[in-house]
């Protein structure tokens, strides 16, 4: 199927009747699993999850997060794939078609717009953090961390944050890499890359886990992650856990909807989502189990160290194990690749929209969007040095972007998606798309999406926002 085909561009209706979009279809359900896993497993799992666990007190937060994945994340992932497969377009046009199909008010299109905007905003700071990982590849290989103490590792990281030019350089490199792949179309290369790299990443995490077990304070790390301490839990923390469930599964912005648009008609969505959710959760938990034992063995690293946690604790581990410099470079290469396969899904929906509806080609769409994302990203770069003291609603710029997207936009879009699928779309249209699901599975899923997910998101969102600002 030609990517350049102009047939039906800009008119969702012409496409849907044939049940095929202009971008083609994944050859199998497994290709979709790989692409979705590539999108889901990223900085969220290895970098963000451990530090927000640290900032929010550990075990209780982890439990709430797991509940959010099960009750909200996976059911909404099913909904997003289902919507994408029915619309067969970029999220904006998919929502446009589906609202038309249901004879609804165009306001529901906001789901598409909110999502695409959130994706670009996330990418703006995602590229900055991925830039740190890129920078650390060279640091590791050149021996900077040979035998370092936790204190020294902290100083090296602090020096990086103070160095605006280096931050901008690596942020730009990462964005160029991302644009490069998306310009060429996502289907080629990525599936293969993910199939090789994800297992490798997992093996290296296991190596670190073993190091943490032997050299770190494993018992304390383990109990920090898994012991339930209700006092440590706040409404703000619950909101962050909910937001992270969306973030880590790539939900609430149309990435999964866009990938769902390329899914074969007769693939069972439920099983697919279980596979993606399981792999994603496993990587996050193993990353936590690798990082916290090292943190607790080194009193100079605080569990609540924030965004720098992984960049301080892991170099200490690598710098003090035999062959660690090699493993360390490989590890940061893989973190970069995991971030890369996620970043692609952050920009793809906006690119697909510009191509479908605004007459752009992939090249120019990427140039334009990449530039905007880069510009906004400078705000995050500066928030680690020059603007460190500047505050928006109590957050620095990076924290603000993260809070606004993860804790506000993703859950809200998710809420709208649940309401749309559970209450607004015609039930037979939903059942049609879920035809290959046994009726018991369908029944349970639909119930959860109608009642449990929206209610959970609504309560957590309202309470979380209220408590965060009061």
Q: Residues in the site for ligand TRP, rule: CB under 6 A?
A: 39-40, 42-45, 119, 122, 247-248, 250, 253, 255, 342, 345-346, 410
What minimum distance in Å lies between the beta carbon of 43 and ligand TRP? Answer: 4
What minimum distance in Å lies between the beta carbon of 285 and ligand TRP? Answer: 14
> Judged by CB, which is closer to ligand TRP: 102, or 193?
193
Sign, CA torsion 331/332/333/336? positive
What minimum distance in Å lies between the beta carbon of 410 and ligand TRP? Answer: 6
CA–CA gap between residue 379 and residue 398 (Å, rounded): 7
What minimum distance in Å lies between the beta carbon of 201 and ligand TRP? Answer: 12
What minimum distance in Å lies between the beta carbon of 254 and ligand TRP? Answer: 8
What minimum distance in Å lies between the beta carbon of 308 and ligand TRP? Answer: 17
Q: Using alpha carbons only, what angle is made at residue 346 by residues 15 and 336, rounded to the nearest 5 degrees?
A: 135
CA–CA gap between residue 163 and residue 155 (Å, rounded): 13
**Is residue 302 a contact partner of residue 51, using CB atoms and an 8 Å limit?**
no
> Judged by CB, which is closer to ligand TRP: 281, or 342?
342
CA–CA gap between residue 45 and residue 140 (Å, rounded): 21
What minimum distance in Å lies between the beta carbon of 23 and ligand TRP? Answer: 17
What minimum distance in Å lies between the beta carbon of 236 and ligand TRP? Answer: 20
> Judged by CB, which is closer to ligand TRP: 279, or 297?
279
> Judged by CB, which is closer to ligand TRP: 9, or 41?
41
Residue 321: φ, ψ to 5°: -120, 155
Which residue, judged by CB position, is nearest to ligand TRP in the bound state? Answer: 44
Give the tokens for residue 376.
Answer: 């906004």
Rg over alpha carbons for the chain, rounded to the nearest Å, is 21
> Residue holding tokens 């920078």?
135
CA–CA gap between residue 313 and residue 290 (Å, rounded): 10
> Residue holding tokens 């497969």?
85
> Judged by CB, which is closer to ligand TRP: 70, or 429?
70
> Judged by CB, which is closer to ligand TRP: 82, or 325?
82
Within 13 Å of residue 78, how many CA atoms lie on the same side as its CB?
Answer: 34
In eight-state DSSP terms, residue 121 is: H
List Cβ neighbours of 123 (8 Å cut-off, separation of 6 or more): 175, 178, 343, 346, 347, 373, 377
CA–CA gap between residue 281 and residue 245 (Å, rounded): 10
Q: 34-43: b or e for each residue (b if 16 or more CB lie within 10 Å)?
A: bbbbbbbbbb
> Judged by CB, which is closer to ligand TRP: 31, or 250?
250
> Judged by CB, which is closer to ligand TRP: 296, or 416?
416
């Amino acid at each position: 199927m030609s990517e350049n085909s102009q047939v039906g561009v800009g008119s969702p209706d012409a496409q849907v009747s044939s049940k095929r979009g202009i971008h083609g279809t994944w050859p199998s359900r497994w290709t979709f699993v790989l692409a979705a896993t590539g999108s889901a497993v990223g900085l969220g799992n290895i970098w963000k999850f451990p530090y927000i666990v640290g900032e929010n007190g550990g075990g209780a937060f982890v439990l709430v997060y797991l509940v959010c994945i099960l009750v909200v994340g996976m059911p909404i992932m099913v909904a997003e794939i289902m919507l994408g497969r029915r619309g067969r377009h970029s999220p904006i046009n998919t929502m446009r078609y589906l609202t038309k199909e249901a004879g609804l008010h165009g306001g529901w299109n906001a789901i598409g717009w909110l999502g695409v905007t959130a994706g670009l905003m996330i990418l703006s700071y995602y590229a900055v953090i991925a830039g740190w990982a890129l920078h650390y590849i060279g640091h590791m290989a050149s021996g900077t961390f040979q035998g370092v103490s936790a204190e020294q590792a902290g100083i090296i990281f602090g020096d990086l944050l103070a160095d605006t030019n280096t931050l901008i350089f690596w942020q730009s490199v990462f964005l160029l890499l991302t644009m490069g792949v998306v310009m060429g179309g996502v289907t080629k290369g990525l599936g293969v890359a993910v199939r090789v790299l994800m297992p490798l990443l997992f093996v290296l995490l296991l190596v670190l886990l073993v190091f943490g077990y032997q050299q770190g304070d494993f018992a304390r790390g383990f109990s920090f992650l898994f012991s339930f301490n209700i006092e440590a839990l706040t409404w703000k923390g619950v909101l962050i856990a909910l937001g992270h469930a969306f973030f880590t599964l790539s939900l609430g912005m149309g990435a999964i909807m866009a990938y769902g648009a390329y899914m074969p008609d007769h693939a069972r969505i439920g099983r697919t989502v279980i596979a993606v959710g399981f792999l994603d959760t496993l990587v996050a938990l193993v990353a936590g189990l690798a990082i916290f034992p090292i943190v607790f063995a080194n009193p100079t690293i605080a569990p609540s160290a924030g965004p720098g946690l992984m960049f301080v604790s892991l170099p200490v581990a690598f710098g003090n194990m035999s062959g660690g410099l090699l493993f360390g470079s490989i590890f940061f290469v893989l973190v970069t690749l995991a971030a890369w396969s996620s970043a692609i899904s952050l920009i793809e929906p906006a690119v697909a929209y510009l191509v479908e509806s605004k007459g752009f080609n992939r090249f120019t769409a990427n140039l334009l969007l990449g530039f905007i994302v880069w510009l906004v990203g400078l705000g995050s770069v500066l928030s680690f040095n020059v603007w460190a003291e500047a505050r928006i609603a109590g957050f620095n710029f990076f924290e603000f972007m993260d809070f606004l997207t993860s804790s506000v936009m993703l859950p809200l879009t998710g809420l709208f998606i649940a309401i749309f699928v559970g209450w607004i779309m015609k039930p037979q249209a939903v059942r049609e798309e879920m035809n290959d699901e046994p009726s018991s599975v369908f029944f349970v899923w639909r119930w959860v999406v109608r009642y449990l997910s929206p209610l959970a998101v609504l309560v957590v969102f309202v309470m979380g926002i209220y408590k965060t600002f009061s």
